[in-house]
Amino acid sequence: MSVLTVSFLVCLLITLWVLRSSHLHLSFTADSNLSGVQKFHTIAVPRVGGIAIFIGIFVALCVRYFENSEVGLFGLLLMMCSLPAFLSGLTEDLTKKVGVKVRLLATMVSAGLAGYFLNAWLGSVQILGIDNLMMAYPFVAVAITCFAVGGVANAFNIIDGYNGLSSMVAVIILSGIAYAAFQVNDYPIMIAALAMIGALLGFLVFNYPRGAIFLGDGGAYFVGFWIAELSVLLTARHPEVSKWFPLLLCLYPIFETVFTIYRRVVLQKAHPGMPDALHLHQLIYMRIVRPSVGGHSDAAKAQCNALTSPYLWILTALAVIPAILFWQYHLVLKGFALLFAVTYVWLYWAIVRFQSPKWMHLRGI
């Protein structure tokens, strides 16, 4: 049985169990705060979907270990390294007392563990000047690797705002990683990517479109860490894979994070960690989807929630498709990265100024 099938079925069953037993744990696992500026659900929802994803991948990799010990051990070691990132996020889900700085630091610790046990270090980033520093001073490479992994994990937490958004974005990105790993015959990375895809699809059965369960910080940080580490390992183990390949794959969550920091610090003169409702996905919800659907009932809000995510799936695919096509050519990938950044900024300001393209607005709903 394939690793994707096993992780899908196990995650599906664990998620179902979490939902069916919610009356026993909802008091400490639910996201009951419905009033925050970044809250768009209308009832208390369990935010521990990361547990089901973690268990689904673990079982699938254990099964694979008995079929191919080398491939299984690789995945299980990566899971071990992910524990600080996953547990810090899960603790926040359960206690609401773990700040973003602690979670970011824990994810960097996970990156350090992966670097030590799996030799997952960035040797270069194909940027003149920085590459010279990384070669001359190994600690710079270590610092950049840990910062990059922590940043990507945090980026997935930032975009985790609507049903199916972060999860399906991760599936699209992981499909690109699995494709490139197949091209270079790196089956441990390909199997690890497929295991996460299967678990995410099992989770999505209940997360999209109804939003019966959320990833939570534990799930978001775990998924982001997994993608970041597979990206680092793919480029570290295969020099023919451009360092800009995984960057373009993950450019939507990464650029969302960078643009948010710029917007808050430079434009609003506010703290970069101050929550607001001005992310691109929130603007699409408020200024494109809701006016098209209309109504203020819980059913209308739930429908708007589900209809928002596909816009960002398409945006993600616009970066992933050229990344897959040109995974070896860093100059071409840099060009598409620039094009994506320009497109994102243009789209953002068009929506802010109520000048979004007509084709983005839904009809006949």
Q: Per-residue pLDDT tens for 15-35? A: 999 999 988 888 778 865 555
- Average pLDDT for the chain: 92
Closest Cα to residue 158, out of 110, 89, 205? 89
Write the Ramachandran bin of 185: left for phi over 0, alpha for psi from -120 to 50, otherwise beta.
Answer: left
* Mean pLDDT, residues 218-246: 97
Residue with the two structure tokens 């994707």: 4
In sequence order, the 6+-apart residues with CB closer than 8 A to the CB of 334 are 244
In sequence order, the 6+-apart residues with CB closer than 8 A to the CB of 361 are 288, 291, 292
pTM, 2 dp: 0.94
DSSP letters, 264-295, are: IIIIS---TT---S-SHHHHHIIIIIHHHH--
pLDDT band at 248; cut points 50, 70, 90: very high
Q: Per-residue pLDDT tens for 65-87? A: 999 999 999 999 999 999 999 99
CA torsion 193-198-200-206 (nearest 10°) is: 180
* pLDDT score, position 125: 86
Closest Cα to residue 16, out of 211, 186, 173, 213? 213
Query: Are the C-beta atoms of residues 122 and 239 closer than 8 Å to each other?
Result: no
* Mean pLDDT, residues 148-155: 96
What does the DSSP 8-state code read for residue 30?
Answer: E
* pLDDT score, position 294: 76
Query: What six digits make up the tokens of 159?
Result: 């975009």
CA 164 from centroid of its chain's CA atoms: 11
Buried b (16+ CB within 10 A) or exposed e, 187-210: ebbbbbbbbbbbbbbbbbebbbbe
* pLDDT score, position 325: 97
Write the Ramachandran bin of 287: left for phi over 0, alpha for psi from -120 to 50, otherwise beta.
Answer: alpha
3 state SS of 45: strand
What's the rounded Cα separation, in Å, for the pair 119 and 153? 19
Query: Are the C-beta atoms of residues 344 and 280 closer than 8 Å to each other?
Result: yes
* Mean pLDDT, residues 199-215: 95
Task: Report cis status (omega within 30 of 0) of the bond before 253.
Answer: no
